[in-house]
Structure 1
Amino acid sequence: MSESNHFYIRDFTKHRNLDGLSDKSLETLADSKAESTIDSYESDWNDFCDWCRYHKQSAFPASAETVVNYINDLADYAKASTIRRRISAISENYNAAGPDYKNPCREWIVKEALVGLSRKKGIAQKGKTPIYWEDMEKMVESMDLKNITEVRDKAILLMGFMGAFRRSELVGLDVEDLSFFPQGMIVSIRQSKTDQMGQGQQLGIPYLEDKHMCAVLAVKEWISKAELSTGPLFRRILKSGVPATNRLSDKTVNLIVKKYARRIGLQEDLYGAHSLRHGFATYAALHGVEERIIMKQTRHRSVEMVRHYINEANLFINNPISMIFNKKDR
């Protein structure tokens, strides 16, 4: 990683005033961390930088308030141990940068935020429970598609699942961001957490043979019923039953997921907007989809979270219970 990204751990001896040390001592310090550890630090630092770019905050120098906000956003899906490791990487990088740079992780509000997170979420804290395809089928089956709100909700749930969208990406879409082809729909994402340069990303969602569960047809139905031609794709519905001109908030997507989870008998507090993204990745892993292909759809830059989904799915793949009791030839 170039110095322009302000990652100093790999070559920290170059950035410190260590003139009093011999060349041998400097070499020993440079080799004090394993290459794999440095790679992990760099991956964690890059995640922080990506978050800061997306939220238009400075990663270097960063304020303690920025670090606290980052912690709380991570808490939506990451384990407490992952969050602590990320903060450790940020702190180590500031230490490596030298005494001219104030380390925001040493501020009391960062320490208190980590303590509060552990108390609230617990050491074994997990992200939102994934919504599997079978859950999605039940949710769609429960909908009254004569109601324009539920037509919209169907499009949100199916598109959120198939596109593995972050909720901010989903509500940020405009009608103009969609292109329809015989094979399906291409979605242009103008702003994303992992799009460092703001160049935009494109995502393909094919038609499904099961038309009732097809995200492309659900989106087309919503656009037709709402009579949309330009502007925000997903909007709130006025009391008159007419779509508003302003876009939904990302918090509304969270509430929509909880609403339908509750409707089909699931424990709603375990589910949220991230359940759609989590559900797609885990369901894809259950069906043996390769890691790189899952990452292409989810747009993860780091394999860490995708491997978490794959490991979760592997608890059921080649499970001895299934091999004993669910034999197809029985």
Structure 2
Amino acid sequence: MDNHFFLRDFSRNSQSEGLSDKSMNSLSVTKANHTIDAYESDWNDFCDWCRYHHQTSYPAQPETIVNYINDLADYAKASTIRRRISAISENYNASGDHVENPCRAWIVKEALIGLTRLKGTVQKGKTPIYWEEIEEMIHRMDLTSLQALRDRAVLLLGFMGAFRRSELAGLDVEDIRKYPQGIVVTIRHSKTDQTSAGQQIGIPYLSHSSMDCIHALQEWLTAAGITSGPLFRSFLKNGKVSSRRLSDKSINLIVKKYAASIGLNPEMYGAHSLRHGFATYAALQGVEERLIMKQTRHRSVEMVRRYINEADLFTNNPIDKIFNQPK
């Protein structure tokens, strides 16, 4: 197995040689299919993390597991972290190889205990920005300004493409291809595409040109005189557009600036608010999980389901069903 996921194939377990076929069959159904699917998703998430950090997932060192735990703590709940480590441990148990299970190491157990004691609850990510809030931000912009034209394009493209800030900052003009239906944006380097095979995002035209991402993008490029190279750029002191790429930190500051412009607390918002906002807003509109994942390019369903659960607080709220039903 290339991904070293063993839980679906109990026959690989070297300790099962003395078991009858009937016994093997009973062992193979000890976990439901949806449980195996969840474990495989968790294992794949760990493998993706290892590839990104140039670590080995199988065999893995206990220190690798500890580092993975602490990275998960940036966005995942304590229960999610424990389940992920349990999935990794179960997969090692099912391997049948003489490879030590790194999850059994004392530093991994201490890391889980320490994380709970120090943090209590895991830190929450940035607050999502919804479509109506982006509309208000753009309504307040002075679109005679070159900087405002750029910032409008950043907000709309960041939201529509559900981009990570590094992906948005890394885009070139050559990464965008126009079609009658809209544009296709190619991400050449991404957190979940370590082989640089490229990921493509489709963004269709909108009927309202003031909020149309493609229209805003073209206005920015035309006004700035950009025909190739970095898509979003910084400005020189004289106000002219530079040749330098806008940094991901600058994109973060742009989001904070416009959050503050409509009375939101900028400390609660950042570049990730656009990606988070798209996923949650899509869930509020009843878009199915599969389609949300297609646009956000999440490899694991865990984060997408978190966004859906946030939206579900309102879409399936008893107060709404009691008081906001049509008469």
Same fold, TM exceeding 0.5?
Answer: yes
Gap regions ≥5 residues in structure 2: none
Give secondary structure in 2 for the equivalent of 1:160: helix
Is residue 22 of structure 2 the alignment partner of residue 40 of structure 1?
Answer: no
Deviations 1:240-299 (A, max 9, x none): 434444434434333332232233222333323222122112212222223333232222
Deviation, 1:73, is 4.0
Match of 1:267 among 253, 262, 265: 265
Deviation, 1:42, is 0.8
When normalised by structure 1's length, the TM-score is 0.83
Deviation, 1:112, is 5.5
Which residue identity does 1:130 align to in structure 2?
A: P
Contact kept in structure 1, 2:66 and 2:108, CA below 8 Å: yes
* CA RMSD between the two structures: 3.1
Deviation, 1:126, is 3.5
Question: C-alpha distance in 2, partners of 1:120/1:256?
Answer: 32
Give secondary structure in 2 for the equivalent of 1:179: strand
Task: Identify the residue that residue 233 of structure 1 maps to in structure 2.
Answer: 231
Moved more, 110-119 or 142-151: 110-119
Question: C-alpha distance in 1, partners of 2:248/2:234?
Answer: 11
Question: C-alpha distance in 1, partners of 2:229/2:44?
Answer: 33
Deviation, 1:158, is 0.9
Match of 2:165 among 158, 164, 167: 167
Task: Identify the residue that residue 130 of structure 1 maps to in structure 2.
Answer: 128
Which residue identity does 2:124 align to in structure 1?
A: K
Moved more, 99-108 or 262-271: 99-108
Question: C-alpha distance in 2, partners of 1:72/1:139?
Answer: 35
Match of 1:277 among 275, 285, 304: 275
Task: Identify the residue that residue 88 of structure 2 maps to in structure 1.
Answer: 90
Moved more, 126-135 or 291-300: 291-300
Deviations 1:137-194 (A, max 9, x none): 1222233334444332222211111111122322222211001233322111223344
Match of 1:255 among 250, 253, 257: 253
Contact kept in structure 2, 1:151 and 1:221, CA below 8 Å: yes
Question: C-alpha distance in 1, partners of 2:232/2:67?
Answer: 26
Question: C-alpha distance in 1, partners of 2:67/2:241?
Answer: 33
Compared CA separation, residues 109 and 152, structure 1 to 2 (3 A): farther
Equivalences, count: 327
Which residue identity does 2:284 align to in structure 1?
A: L
Question: C-alpha distance in 2, partners of 1:315/1:233?
Answer: 37
Moved more, 194-203 or 42-51: 194-203
Contact kept in structure 1, 2:298 and 2:304, CA below 8 Å: yes
Is residue 306 of structure 2 the alignment partner of residue 313 of structure 1?
Answer: no
Identity of counterpart residues, as a percentage?
Answer: 67
When normalised by structure 2's length, the TM-score is 0.83
Deviations 1:8-44 (A, max 9, x none): 2333562444556676666655554343322211110
Question: C-alpha distance in 2, partners of 1:44/1:160?
Answer: 27
Moved more, 132-141 or 300-309: 300-309
Gap regions ≥5 residues in structure 1: none
